[in-house]
Structure 1
Amino acid sequence: MATVNWEREPGEKVEEFVAALLLLKYPHGNLITPSQGDRGVDVRVWNPDGFDIYQVKRYTRPLDSTQEKEVKKSWQTFVDQTLPILKVRSWTLVTPLNPSNERLDWLDALTEPTGLETHWMDRGALDGLAGNNYPLVDYFFGDGAQHWHRLMADLLDGVRPLPGDGASESLLSAIASRQEKLARSLDEVDPFYRYEIDIRTGWVENLPLDSTRLGETRAAFIQYAQIDDEHYREMRLLPRCAESVKLRPITADVRLEADPGTSTANAIHRFRQFGTPFSDVPGTITAISGPPGVPQTGGPATFSFLSVPQPKTGLPDLCLRIREPNGQKAAELELEHVSSSRGQAGSGVWVSASDRAQVLNVEFTFGGDSDAEFRLRTSGLKGKTPAEVLPAVRATAELRTGRVIELAVRGGLPITGGWELERDDAEASLARWHVAFLEALTTIQEHTYHRITVPDVTTMTPPQRQKIFNIAGLLRGEQIEEDWSEVTTDTASAALLESAGPEFSFGGTAPLTVELDGQEIHLNMARQTHYESARIRTGQPDSDVIHLVPGSSTKAVSTAVPLDQAAPAPQ
């Protein structure tokens, strides 16, 4: 069992160690640093019925008058600044000393007026926690050099070519053995991180940089290493508690390199000012610090900075707001998939977000020494459902000269100043046509169980696109007037039509369908058409089909009716 000689250790280190013990015991707890104004709280742990608060003191011997005053001060600060704003269920004083009964009575008298549940976590309890966490004791007070050397040997061994006779079973067995050995060794010595190691097929250099994929993992660090011509290793460091990256940070000192005036230099400048992501910038790693498994040597490298989408918790709901010059709101688009970053040298902020369907992406940079900027980028609509993309396309259509764009809290105050559009956005006029087209598709969706998606309009002919608009108009109750050239009917129907004279009008119904992406989609309505003037085409061969052509007028008027009201019609 690991033990700590509390009296011999510096008080500051004792407080850091005790806080780490608590945070690893309660992995979802938070460490409150003095720079944030601790409000009488060192560690707080959330529970459904309230927070558990821990105040850590370094005292190892019976409290003297000065220490007693410090405890009273911390308690009063907690009562004055934390209790009014936080739901608290308990408060605990944590010290590596065993208090006397008189001191326990003293603490009860101090805290009793609040009626709050209070405790004193003493040396015995801390010794018990320390005894079950040898790696943490070794990290703070011991000499872990031998452990680290062994781990680095295992790590290096893991990237050497695998021996074997070439048989697939031998190769897989060797890979699995190394994977298990390395993960077990790292887990054994590192108190702050757990290690996951996977062996995958492929080449590291072919892996795409994907901030969305990185955002789906809790890993604080991911390393890829090529093992042989067919396999690579992925190692992930997972924090054991919410504060692992604060207790054991992973850092690297990097020098980025670019010639003045180049696009690379501009990308570095924007990163320094606003935290704007960049990719494939050359540079050098000059120093690295981190837990076992993190490389400890630097050198030349190529760098990319990705901003991972942030969870919604704690962030306000954002929107893209478009205003008229007089301040009246013209449009507001709800934003999701939010990423943000801050400048490394200055107060600048970069925010990137998109609509729910990720059709419209917006980027804002503001607050730095350089001029603030707004950038907008659209992506394709093909294959997405009309209803999900309509909000973004409608907002894009409102980007008109003189209007002002701002990033704002949804339904609330603006976060940035406004950007005035000096001319219509290049995408705006195209978006206005797409709004009408998407609304037509949305109407069609209301009349079929088939999933309607946006087709590639660039491959559609003008008549095909117009037919979509016409069918949507019919479904909305409009009348469509068109010229016609010929329809067919059976001989029985033709006999009835001939009795009306050489020229006649007639009407009929047919199932209403629409063709999208080469597929005919049946709707729950029928097309009812009235032909103003028709006659039977002369010179027809004897058959069961009679051809009808326009008489003195080519006009035909169509409406849509429910299928149960439709009657058989000429084909």
Structure 2
Amino acid sequence: MPRVEWAALSGDEVEAVVSNLLYNEFPTATRIRPSQGDYGIDVLIPSSPNRAIFDIYQIKKFATNLGDSEKRQIKSSFRRLLIGLVRRGIPVGDWYLVMPLDPTIENRLDWFNAMPNDVIQAMFSDGELALADQEREQILNWLNHDGRIIEWKGNLFCEALASKYWFVPDYYLHGGNERVRAAVSDVAVILHRDLTLPEEHPKDATSILTPSEVADHLARLQRALDGDPHFRYGVSFDPRRPQLTAEPGLVAATQEVAPDGSCLTFKIFQRSNESLNERPIPIRLNFQVTEESFQAFELWRKYGKPVTLPAEMDANLPGGLGGKISNGTITITPADNDPHESRYRVVTPTGNVAGEVTFRMVSATGPDGTGRWLSGTDPSGAVSIDALVSATDRKFKAQFKVNDITDRDPTAAAPALEFMAALDSPNRLQVAAKYGPFFDIEQLPENREKLPDLIARFVRALAVFQTRTAEQLAIPDLSAMTIADVHRVIDSAVLIQGQVIIKTWDGFSVPSVNPGVHLDPDGHYQISILRPLRLKIAEREISVGTVETVALSAKVVTHSDGSLSILPATNNTAHERFAEEEPMPSGGELPVRWREVPRL
């Protein structure tokens, strides 16, 4: 690329080229448009990850001489910056003067090094400015901060950036804009037809390019496309149309689908945060609202709820892409997307909390500002909410939905599912911010599609089991389980929580007893049996402790082979409890203990 003739450029041209060079060098830079309140700032660049402090770049057009007039302008910019520091609260870091002119020894050693103190002393003695003592101290603290940089970046700096980012001066000064547009328009033709056929082929012949031939063309075209100082372009040719998803820096994309289903995709990525300000993308939309889509359109207009509508579009995309599109669809997503957390709970008529869940929410407001759309999910992803809040009549309409819970963490999902199981009349729904008190929304209507209590109890039971094992549990596919399997899991969790289950029994056999043990066939006994508590979920089996079953009234029948039959005596009632302190013997045997009960 030829050297930039800085002296021949206007002030606007110098500022446009230098600022775009800075954007490419520092993608997080922000440009301050000229105004009476710009405080002598052209470009802000964050100097800390949290954007608490900004380095200031002041751009000047001076390329041939630094006389008294030019020096006054530089001093004025520096003075306005210090006023912005103390009276506007601008978090100023270091200060750089950028212009395509290298300093002379006299300008560097004498004038520029003394310039900051000269400006500050003039400000201190300016009666009209009337700096307060606190403002003076703030200016001096900034100037004397350890490592403070006040630097003149001249022609060598500008030329180095222009060489590194050659496409910036090419785009603004040497017709690069038209070359980018031409390269984009040629890509579709070159991908579909070979325009470089050997001379022996008829002039009207065409052939589909082979992958290796396409690679050569794309490499050449990519170099031309990289001449855009504001955007980068991604190009792909696929046998089927790929799904577009959000990507870092992606601002627009176009897809052209051929009759055979193959697809040419252009993706447009911004080079810096200022790309869309330097090169805005105007889009004209003409919605084709049908009777069916009118309601969805109204929900977007009033509440800001995302909507997909048939539309015609005329978009002036970078690189000459876009244009007029008919018979398309437009999806409008939230612009403000205010993320926050909200708590919802269900309260019974007696005031007890039947279920509570926290939703991670996003929200948006419609164009007419009379409503708000809320959407979110609980941390487990098991339950989602979609709500509309009207600012005119304060009405709140919410739809709660249970998502697919298979393979989700039961400990995380249990509170949300208990909330859904309680979402029914005559209970009340309450809402609160992340912190603070709850407020009543309204009495719940009858919910014929509410989550069955059995599912919520089952997931809570899995969460109880998770406290007994380090192995990560997951909610199984409930459609593959029987009601008996579900109740078995729930009953096992009840035992772990210290409750006793009362059940009936109808007898069992014991192979043998220890030598020397004699059982009276007419005796009346209580029998205790220890067994491992195992939970079977899908194809997995987990052991979490020991269960003791006590038959309250039993009799014993001894057989000739030494085996025993234990049968109910006066009743068939048994108690089950979790016997955490009782270890199971090895070898797979089930311990059976007994004690004789005196007959009344």
User: Is TM more than 0.5 here?
Assistant: yes
Match of 1:392 in 2: 416
Cα offset, 1:560, TM superposition: 1.9
Q: Corresponding residue for 1:405?
A: 431
Give the equivalent residue in structure 2 for 1:477. Answer: 498
The alpha carbon displacement at 1:513 in A equals 1.1
Whole-Å separation in 2 of the counterparts to 1:535 and 1:494: 19
TM-score when normalising by structure 2? 0.75
| One of 492, 507, 530 as aligned partner of 1:509 | 530
Residues 356 and 416, structure 2, Cα contact 8 Å, conserved in 1: no
Deviation at 1:496, TM superposition (A): 5.0
- Aligned position for 1:254: 285
Q: Give secondary structure in 1 for the equivalent of 2:171.
A: helix
Which position in structure 1 is the counterpart of 2:58? 56
Deviations 1:143-201 (A, max 9, x none): 3364135313432225526899xxxx9843344444434433312x2112233334545
Q: For residues 106-131 of structure 1, what are the alpha-carbon distances to aligned partners after superposition, in whole Å with 9 as ceiling and x for unaligned?
A: 24532683324212333453344234
Q: CA deviation at 1:284?
A: 0.5
Aligned counterpart, 2:119:
110
Letter matched to residue 96 of structure 2: T
Q: 1:309 to 1:78 in 2, by over 3 A?
A: closer
1:84-138 per-position Cα deviation (integer Å, ceiling 9, x unaligned): 563x431223345556446513245326833242123334533442343332223
Indicate the SS of the match to 1:472. helix
Aligned to 1:524: 544
DSSP-derived class of the 1:298 partner: strand
Select the residue among 88, 94, 97 that pairs with 1:90: 94
**1:382 partnered with 2:409:** no
- Write the distance in 2 (CA, Å) between the matches of 1:332 and 1:531: 40
User: CA distance change for structure 1 residues 565 and 133 in 2, over 3 Å: closer, same or farther?
Assistant: closer
Q: Which has the larger radius of gyration?
A: 2
What does residue 124 of structure 2 align with? none
User: CA 1:544 to 1:324, structure 2 compared with 1: closer, same or farther past 3 Å?
Assistant: closer
Work out whether 1:356 is the aligned partner of 2:379. yes
2:207 is aligned with 1:183: no
CA distance in 2, matches of 1:309, 1:506: 68
| Cα gap change, 1:413 to 1:451, in 2 (>3 Å) | closer
1:223-302 maps to which residues of 2 (within 5 A)? 223-226=254-257, 229=260, 231-259=262-290, 262-279=291-308, 281-285=309-313, 287-292=314-319, 294-302=321-329
Deviation of 1:374 (Å): 4.6
**CA distance in structure 1 between the partners assigned to 2:561 and 2:236 by the alignment:** 73
Counterpart code for 1:245: L
Percent identity among equivalent residues? 19
User: CA 1:53–1:428 in 2, change beyond 3 Å: closer, same or farther?
Assistant: farther
- Separation in 1 of the partners of 2:495 and 2:275? 62
Q: CA deviation at 1:378?
A: 2.8
- In structure 2, C-alpha distance between the alignment counterparts of 1:275 and 1:455, rounded to whole Å: 37
Q: Distance in 2 between matches of 1:397 and 1:39?
A: 60
Match of 1:193 in 2: 231
User: Which amino acid is 1:275 matched to?
Assistant: G
Deviation digits for residues 404-443 of structure 1 (CA, Å, limit 9, x no counterpart)? 335x3x33699xxx78233157399637654433221111
Whole-angstrom CA distance in 1 between matches of 2:570 and 2:388: 67
Q: Structure 1: how far apart are the matches of 2:215 and 2:565?
A: 77
Tell me the equivalent position of 2:25: 25
Query: Which 5+ residue runs of structure 1 have no aligned equivalent?
Result: none
Distance 1:329 1:26 in 2: 57
Over residues 496-539 of structure 1, what are the superposed CA-to-partner deviations in whole Å (9 max), with x where a residue is unaligned?
A: 5743536533112111112223x35232311111112234579x
Specify the code of the residue in structure 1 equivalent to 2:573: K
Note the 1:427-506 alignment, pairs <5 A. Answer: 430=451, 434-457=455-478, 460-492=481-513, 496=517, 498-499=519-520, 501=522, 503-506=524-527
Output the amino acid matched with 1:377.
K
Cα pair 1:398 1:428 within 8 Å, conserved:
no
* CA deviations over 1:200-232 (Å, ceiling 9, x no partner): 45x22xx557xxxx3454422333444684754
Displacement of 1:484 = 1.0
Matched, 1:551 2:566: no
- One-letter code aligned to 1:284: E
> Is the contact between residue 54 and residue 92 of structure 1 (CA under 8 Å) also seen in structure 2?
yes
Rounded to whole Å, the distance in 2 between the matches of 1:59 and 1:71 is 13
Deviations 1:364-396 (A, max 9, x none): 555877976553333122221111213433554
Tell me the CA shift for residue 552 of structure 1.
1.8
Secondary structure (helix, strand or coil) at the match of 2:318 reads coil
Distance in 1 (CA, whole Å) between partners of 2:76 and 2:256 is 51
**C-alpha distance in 1, partners of 2:161/2:409?**
55
Q: For 2:236 and 2:562, how far apart are their aligned partners in 1?
A: 72
**Alignment map for 1:146-225 (pairs within 5 Å):** 146-160=178-192, 171-187=210-226, 189-201=227-239, 203-204=240-241, 214-225=245-256
Name stretches of at least 5 consecutive residues in structure 2 with no aligned partner: 121-138, 198-207, 593-600
Deviations 1:62-93 (A, max 9, x none): 436973674155213332246x563x431223
Maintained 8 Å contact 1:40/1:76? no
CA distance in 2 between counterparts of 1:469 and 1:323 reads 23
Alignment check: 8 A CA contact 2:59 2:99 kept: yes
Pair 1:433–1:70, CA change in 2 (3 A): farther
Kept after mapping to 2: 8 A contact 1:512/1:527: yes
Question: What secondary structure sits across from 1:485 in the alignment?
Answer: coil
Cα RMSD, aligned residues only:
4.3
Query: Which among 73, 77, 84 is matched to residue 78 of structure 1?
Result: 84
Alpha carbons of structure 1 residues 42 and 452: separation in structure 2 relative to 1, 3 Å = same
Q: Aligned equivalents of 2:192 and 2:477: distance in 1?
A: 50
TM superposition score normalised by structure 1: 0.78
Amino acid at match of 1:247: E
Distance 2:372 2:191 in 1: 40
Contact 2:553 2:569 in 1 (8 A): yes
Contact 2:270 2:276 in 1 (8 A): yes
